[in-house]
Each structure stands twice: as C-alpha cells, then as structure tokens.
Chains A and B, each alone.
Chain A
Amino acid sequence: MLMIDTHMMNDTREICQELQDTYAQLTNLLVFVTNHEGQLITAPSNIDDASVFDKYGSELQNMFKTEIDKLQGIRHTILSDQWVPGVKWLIAPVSVDQSDTGMYVWGGILIQQGTLQSIITHPNYLQPESGAPADFIELMRSWIQNTGEISPDQEIFKREKITKFAKALSLILKSSFKENRLTQRLNALNETLITEQGVGNPIEEITRAVLASSDLADVFGFALKTAPGKYTIMNSMGMNSGTLGGSIFHEGEGFLGQAVLSAQPSRWRDISRDPRNHFFQQKGLDSVYEVQCFPIRYENEVYGLLFGLSFKERSTPSINPQFEETMISLMGWYIGNHITYEKMEKQLQRFKPLIELSRMIISVQDIQRVMFMLVDMSLNLVWNPSASIVVHRSSEDGKIQMVARGMQSPKGETYAKDIARRYLDNSDKPGASSFINSSTPFSLMLEYPIVYADRTRAVLCVAVSNEQEGEECREILSALAMMGSVVMKSVHDRQQYLSNSNRFAHILHEAIREWNVAHYQLTADAQKIVQEFAMWGGIIKEEAEVIGRACLMSCTDPSMLRSFPHLFQQEAEMIEDYKHIQDDQSILGTGSYSKGGQIMALAFAIATAGDHDMRVVNDLQINGVDQGLVSQFRLFVLSRHTLQTEINLVEEKAPATKTLTAEGAEGRGLDAIVKQFGLSPREKEVLELVVKASSNKEIAATLFISEHTVKNHLTNIFNKMGVTDRAQAIAAVFNKSIG
C-alpha cells in the first residue's frame, strides 16, 4: 500500500484543503479526507466546531478504518449508510497507482426525499451502543437534523462533484508523489555517489546502490564480459535474486544474450510463456513478467549488461520510467567508461616500466639473456602471472632453445616443440600477429612470434587466466615481443657482423699464404696466442676477436681495410699502432698506443720466438708497450707453458685422445662421468666447459655465476670424481670416451 499522504508536501496540502473546501461549499456536504488507515489528512470542511475530531481522534479513526476495511477494492464512488441507516455518505477512492488506493474522500450527509422522519424516529437511531463517542453522536444528530432532504437529481450532482474532487485530488497527489519520490531518488543517488567516492573498487558498490534504490524492476543484475562473447552475472539484488550471481550467458543466448548485441536498451513484456524465460526459471525465478536490459558500452565496445526483472505488470510506475531508464543507461555508460579507464590505466601503468626496460635491455648482447628477460618481464607485465616461455631457433640443425618459468619438463618441452613446429619450421611465412591458444597443456597461452631478418626466429608465449585478460594484455605483451625482436635482431646483426668480419679476415689471411707462407703461419700463431690470452683471462673474448683478426690481417694496408664499409675500423687502427710500435724506438713503456696494438706487438713477439717463448718472455720489453701489460703477458706465457706441459703428459699417457674432439668427449665421456659419479646438472655444465678448456672466469661468464661459485663447483666435481685438478678431470672424461 502506498503511503501517498506522507508525500503530500505543505503547499500541496494547502491546495488540497482549498479544493476540498470549495467542493464542500459547492455540494453543501461535510467533506473529510482520510488515508487508508482512517486518519484525517486535511481539516474537515463545512463543520463549524471541528474540535470533536481532535478530542476523539482515535475513536473516529477506528470508525473510518472499520468502514474502509469493508470497502477494500472499490474503484468508484459509492454510497454507504453503514453508520446510520438511511443517512448516506459518498465515499470516493483516491489512488495514485491504479492497483493501490491510498486515500478516501468522504462526503455527507445525503438524505433522500421523504426519509428523514423515518430515520430519526427509528428505534435504533444513533444509539450510544453504536460505538461512537457521545459527543460525536450528538454532533451527528445535529448534522442530520440540519440537513435537508435531497432529490435524486441533487444526489447525482453531489456524487459527480465528490467524484471529480477525488480525481482532482488524485492528480495533484500523483504529481506531488512523483516529485517527492524523484527528490528522494536524486538525494539517494547523490548520497551514494558522494559516499562511494574513494572507496576501493567502487564500481560494483555504486551500481548496487543505484539499482537498489530504483523501483523500475523487482530484481536487478549486473553482468560483465569475462571472455569474448561470454558474460558472467557479477551481482544481483532483489527478491530471490541470489541464485543469479555467477550465472553465465553468451552473446545471442536468451534475453540477456540478445540484449548485449543491441546498442540500445531492450525490453520484453509478458514473457512467462517465452522459452527464453527458461534461463530465469532455472535460477528459481518462475514468474518473471518483464525483462529490461541496458547494455554497458563505451564507444563501440560492449563490456556488460545491467538488467531488471519485474514479476508483475507495472501499469503506472510511481517514478517517471523515462528518468529511470535514462539513469540506468547512464549508469551503463559510466561503468563502460570506468572499465575502459581501468583497462587503459593498467596498460599505462605497464608501458612506463616497459619504456624504462627498453633502455636496459637494448645493451644485452646475448640471446639467452634476452630470453631470460622476455620470460621474467612478461610475468611482470600480465595481470595474473603464472607461466611464460620463450622458444628460439638459433640454427638450422633441428635444435631449439627454450627458457621457461611456471612450466616444467616434459610438458614444457612438448609445448616448445609444438611452438617450433607451428612457428619456426615454416621459415617462408613469418607470422607477425599474436594468437590466443587454448589447446595447450597449461592455461590459455598468448603466443607472439618474434620476427627478425625476414624469419620467425623465436616465440614468446605467456599464460593468461582468461580470454578477457588475454585481450587486455595483448598490446603490452606485443610491445614486449617487439622489443625482444629489436634486441634479438641487434644480437643477430652483431653475430652476422662478426661472422662476416671473420670470413673476410680469413680470406685476406689465406691470400698471404700465396706469397709468404712464413708470415701466414706467424700471423696465425699470433692470433692463437691472443685467443689463449683471452681464455687465460687477460682480455675479454670480444676484444680478443678483434685483435685476433688484426693479427691475421697485419700485412694488409690499414687504409685498404678502412675502405670496407662498417668493417675492420678497429682492426685498421690496431694494425697502425702495431706498426708504429714496431717502427718507433723512441717511446718506451708509455702505453700511448691502443691496447690492441700493444697486445699485437706482444703476441707477435711470442709467436716469433716459437718454442723459446719462455726465454723471450723473461727479457720481454717492447718500446711503446705498457709495462703492466708486459707483466701480465709474462704471467700468461708462464701459465701457458705449464698447461701445455700438462696436456703433453696426458697425451703421452693416453695417445688415443689426440683423435678425439671436444664434442665427442661430451657425447660419450661426459655423460658416462655424470652417470658414474652422480654429478648434478650444474656440475655437468661446469665440467663440460672445463673440457672445452674454459678458464674459471669464462665459465663464470658463460653460466652467469661468480668465479667463487665456479671454484666451489670444481671442488665438488673433483671430490666426486676423486681427482685433484682440472687436468685429471679432463683426462678422466677423455678416458671414459674411449673406454
């Protein structure tokens, strides 16, 4: 029952009172207005002494209430003489909603022509046992006696006027009621929006609050897109709506699924026999009459749906339905806007760190390090990190490299092979776009081909929790994969550059053989010494590569070398310095020449001495070469001499090793040693590098560990193998390989 009287504002009450008094005067009737509880809403009209109504308020209210209870359901003005037989009252209902009567207009007294005498002479005429207070009975008596009899025409006139007054009252109250409810609604909305600002994750709370205070429907729901074409009801409120939460529907499926395809709000009425109603019936909502849907959109993208369910027809909604529909449509737009903002915010939060990362990653010159970074950084960038893998094919020998986190063998390897088969085998058609793969042993995987040098050479694959997250992460991961492409291309170009440099250097070197075999051999020896110096730890590997090439091309005119675009610039400078050192006898130990030139001078000095290098080195002193470098080289030659001696001893003990390659040793001897002595995978890697004559420093650099850790590994390896030094360990591996 609507308590419309509570919405009667003061100014409205005054207008109603004025109208009531006017109609009372026009009809010459006593007129009251009560609510459905029998309480007087306005002051009685046409009554001289109304104090009795104040004095006996509750008793009179009971009288009216008793009468109202008998009149439940009346829609038109009626005549009643329940209180005193023959003394009639017009009773007109006042309704705001057709289904609910909120107030009643009472108009009296009407006494038909020729009946007054029989009324007042009736034995039960206004007896005290009627329940009414004595003062009121006395008042009634005076009203009846002062009321004249009326003709049927007069009765019809009075009935029409009282009916019109009730209708006018109804219109005024409807307007007032709507205005009042609208004010309340706006206040509630305002309060909700102010209160919810700043609360964590407010969007669902605001939606809940806004929908809960709407009377457009009995049940409201809030569904979000959780995957392309798939929606999940996140929130529901209203009678028996709890079962809706968590329900899933798809685009085009049922009322809700059809609504998300529409750009406009949708409405279906009288759906009880519609098969699409089955979705709600399954959730225990058996008697849905009407469905109203408001898509949550922003620009061209649908993010979800707000919907309302009504269980009965609302013939005259109490609040302007257009306002409510507009309000909820705006709410949908607001949510869509909010979701877009959140999505962009998430991406922006990651783009800034990604740009920072690009500054650091660009200097990496090792493919495996790039793979490490791609795997770890991808996990930093996705919303819900769980697994990532990078598969890389570096050569044409059917072997691939993989670096993975969150996935282990053998599933990881199986997936890596699948990736290689789909992306890396098809070398003619580099695929550049990402792909969401749902048929993996893991969760959904976002796969990004990494293309450089006209081929797909690697693939970055990152697990995402659902397709929606995949869509949202796609761009940021694409940027990371693109960055990986650039860095891998840089490493690839550098390798190509080195490969080309080495190839040209060897061609020039071979050319020397034609006219000077002795110098050909000398330059080859000098290059070998430089490489050994690097392995010993005197210089880094990359530096040794350049100096080694300079040694090979030392007979070539530096100006001719400079004519190669982007090649041999450093080598030409070194050769020039080396030649100046050779020619210049005036400068001693100043080190003003390039380090490469100085090392060349030292390497050629040792190479020229041949087997007598130990004797040479003791007197080693070259003009223009830094004394510190000379001392370092002296130590190197000393250790080189010792190492060669050790190797010779081993060779004497096991001559067959001369024919073995390091790869052969790794293939058979190493595996056998690992198996026999129970070496860990890390120890195996260390031993493998020891067999390849890597120094501790080089092993540390290759495996990304400290030299101290290398020494620890070596100690453990020696203990397990029962050997005392690396030479014995190498010998054991070689022995195993021929055993």
Chain B
Amino acid sequence: MVAESDVITLQMECTLFFENNPYAIETSSGLSKRLGRSQQVTEQALNRLAEMSILEKNGQGMRAIYRYKAPYIQTEVDLNAYD
C-alpha cells in the first residue's frame, strides 16, 4: 500500500517533468524508469493527472501514452477593455 503523500509527490514530479518537456510522449513504464519509481504507482499518478486534464491519455493499460496538455494562456489581456 503506497502512502497517499508518495502518490501526490509523484504526481507533482510527473507534472514538473511534462512542464519541462511539454512535447514529451511517455508511457507509464517509460516514465517510471526515468523517475526511478514503480510502474504501478507511476501509472496511478499519471491517471490522476489525466483526470485533472493536466495530461492527455491515449490508449489503455500498459499501452496508454501520456502527453502534456498546455494550459490556456493569454499573455496580453487588455484591462482597459472592460466587459
């Protein structure tokens, strides 16, 4: 049984990995090797991130691949144009 704090820590690590590599496409197996964590917990963390829409998940099970979903960005919202 993995502690909840460890899963959340791994979620954050995965989030940072994809933020730093926004065009990376990874499987849970591949990422678990990169991060040195068990595949089962990594998959759990990745699926939670997919539920939060931080990652996009394609496929199911071991073959599922994950990629970063960029957040909505607006760099120049004009404050003077009030609604």
A385 at interface by CB-CB < 8 Å: yes
Chain B residues, CB < 8 A from A399: 76-79
Q: B15 touching A398 by the CB < 8 A rule? A: no
B31 at interface by CB-CB < 8 Å: no
Q: A407 touching B52 by the CB < 8 A rule? A: no
Task: Give the bracket for the number of chain B residues in contact with chain A.
Answer: 20 to 34
A376 and B80 CA atoms in complex are apart in Å by 28
Chain A residues, CB < 8 A from B74: 401-402, 409, 412-413, 416
A74 at interface by CB-CB < 8 Å: no
B-contacting residues, A382-399, CB 8 Å: 385, 393, 398-399
Chain B residues, CB < 8 A from A353: 5, 8-9, 11-12
Q: A417 touching B54 by the CB < 8 A rule? A: no
A357 at interface by CB-CB < 8 Å: yes
Chain B residues, CB < 8 A from A372: 19, 71
Chain A residues, CB < 8 A from B72: 402-405, 407-409, 412
Q: A356 touching B52 by the CB < 8 A rule? A: no
Chain A residues, CB < 8 A from B71: 372, 375-376, 403-405
Q: Contacting chain B: which of A130-138, A600-608, A702-710? A: A702-710
A281 and B48 CA atoms in complex are apart in Å by 44
Chain A residues, CB < 8 A from B49: 380
A414 at interface by CB-CB < 8 Å: yes
Q: B22 touching A704 by the CB < 8 A rule? A: yes
Output the nearest chain A residue to B8 by Cβ-Cβ distance: A353
A373 and B11 CA atoms in complex are apart in Å by 12
Contact bitstring A675-710, B, C-beta under 8 A = 1, else 0: 000000000000000000000000000001110010
A-contacting residues, B34-80, CB 8 Å: 49, 52-54, 71-80
A352 and B78 CA atoms in complex are apart in Å by 38
Chain B residues, CB < 8 A from A404: 71-73
Closest Cβ of chain B to A354, distance in Å, is 8
Q: A405 touching B9 by the CB < 8 A rule? A: no
A16 and B62 CA atoms in complex are apart in Å by 75
A360 and B13 CA atoms in complex are apart in Å by 9
Q: B79 touching A420 by the CB < 8 A rule? A: yes
- Contact residue among A376, A377, A416 (Cβ-Cβ distance under 8 Å from B77): A416
CB-CB under 8 A for A380 and B15, given A349-B8, A412-B72, A705-B23? yes
Output the nearest chain A residue to B75 by Cβ-Cβ distance: A401
Q: A380 touching B8 by the CB < 8 A rule? A: yes
Contact bitstring A403-435, B, C-beta under 8 A = 1, else 0: 111111100111011001100010000000000
Chain B residues, CB < 8 A from A416: 74, 77
Q: B23 touching A406 by the CB < 8 A rule? A: no
A-contacting residues, B12-35, CB 8 Å: 12-13, 15-16, 19, 22-23
Output the nearest chain A residue to B81 by Cβ-Cβ distance: A417
Q: A380 touching B11 by the CB < 8 A rule? A: yes
Closest Cβ of chain B to A355, distance in Å, is 9
A385 and B15 CA atoms in complex are apart in Å by 14
Output the nearest chain B residue to A424 by Cβ-Cβ distance: B79
A537 and B78 CA atoms in complex are apart in Å by 34
Chain A residues, CB < 8 A from B9: 352-353, 356
Output the nearest chain B residue to A413 by Cβ-Cβ distance: B77
Q: B54 touching A379 by the CB < 8 A rule? A: yes
Closest Cβ of chain A to B77, distance in Å, is 5
Chain B residues, CB < 8 A from A312: none
Q: A421 touching B82 by the CB < 8 A rule? A: yes
Chain B residues, CB < 8 A from A376: 15, 19, 54, 71
A492 at interface by CB-CB < 8 Å: no
A416 and B73 CA atoms in complex are apart in Å by 11
Chain B residues, CB < 8 A from A706: 23
Chain A residues, CB < 8 A from B80: 398
CB-CB under 8 A for A709 and B79, given A405-B72, A412-B72? no
Chain A residues, CB < 8 A from B79: 393, 398-400, 417, 420-421, 425
A348 at interface by CB-CB < 8 Å: yes
A595 at interface by CB-CB < 8 Å: no
Closest Cβ of chain B to A315, distance in Å, is 51
Chain B residues, CB < 8 A from A400: 77, 79
Contact bitstring A496-531, B, C-beta under 8 A = 1, else 0: 000000000000000000000000000000000000
A350 at interface by CB-CB < 8 Å: yes
Closest Cβ of chain B to A685, distance in Å, is 10
Output the nearest chain B residue to A404 by Cβ-Cβ distance: B72
CB-CB under 8 A for A377 and B8, given A403-B71, A413-B74, A414-B83? no
Chain A residues, CB < 8 A from B5: 348-350, 352-353
Chain A residues, CB < 8 A from B12: 353, 356-357, 377, 380
Chain B residues, CB < 8 A from A417: 77, 79, 82-83
Chain A residues, CB < 8 A from B54: 376, 379-380, 405
A269 at interface by CB-CB < 8 Å: no
A369 at interface by CB-CB < 8 Å: yes
Chain B residues, CB < 8 A from A401: 73-77
A417 and B78 CA atoms in complex are apart in Å by 8
Closest Cβ of chain A to B12, distance in Å, is 5
Output the nearest chain B residue to A377 by Cβ-Cβ distance: B12
A252 and B79 CA atoms in complex are apart in Å by 44
A97 and B65 CA atoms in complex are apart in Å by 70
A400 and B80 CA atoms in complex are apart in Å by 10
A414 and B73 CA atoms in complex are apart in Å by 14
Output the nearest chain A residue to B82 by Cβ-Cβ distance: A417
Chain B residues, CB < 8 A from A380: 8, 11-12, 15, 49, 52, 54
Chain A residues, CB < 8 A from B75: 368, 401
Output the nearest chain A residue to B9 by Cβ-Cβ distance: A353
Contact bitstring A708-734, B, C-beta under 8 A = 1, else 0: 010000000000000000000000000
A172 and B7 CA atoms in complex are apart in Å by 61
Output the nearest chain A residue to B15 by Cβ-Cβ distance: A376
Closest Cβ of chain B to A497, distance in Å, is 23
A373 and B22 CA atoms in complex are apart in Å by 13
CB-CB under 8 A for A398 and B73, given A350-B8, A356-B12? no
Q: 30 A-B Cβ contacts within 8 A?
A: A349-B5, A350-B5, A350-B8, A352-B5, A353-B5, A356-B9, A357-B16, A373-B16, A376-B15, A376-B54, A377-B12, A380-B49, A398-B80, A399-B76, A399-B79, A401-B74, A403-B71, A404-B73, A405-B52, A405-B53, A405-B54, A412-B72, A413-B77, A414-B83, A416-B74, A417-B77, A420-B79, A425-B79, A705-B23, A706-B23
A interface list, Cβ under 8 A from B: 348-350, 352-353, 356-357, 360, 368-369, 372-373, 375-377, 379-381, 385, 393, 398-409, 412-414, 416-417, 420-421, 425, 704-706, 709
Beyond the given pairs A353-B11, A399-B77, A405-B52, 6 more chain A to chain B contacts, judged by CB atoms under 8 angstroms and listed by A's residue number, are A357-B12, A357-B16, A377-B12, A399-B76, A416-B74, A421-B82
Closest 8 CB pairs of A and B: A353-B9, A349-B5, A405-B71, A349-B4, A353-B8, A404-B72, A398-B79, A352-B5
B interface list, Cβ under 8 A from A: 3-5, 8-9, 11-13, 15-16, 19, 22-23, 49, 52-54, 71-80, 82-83
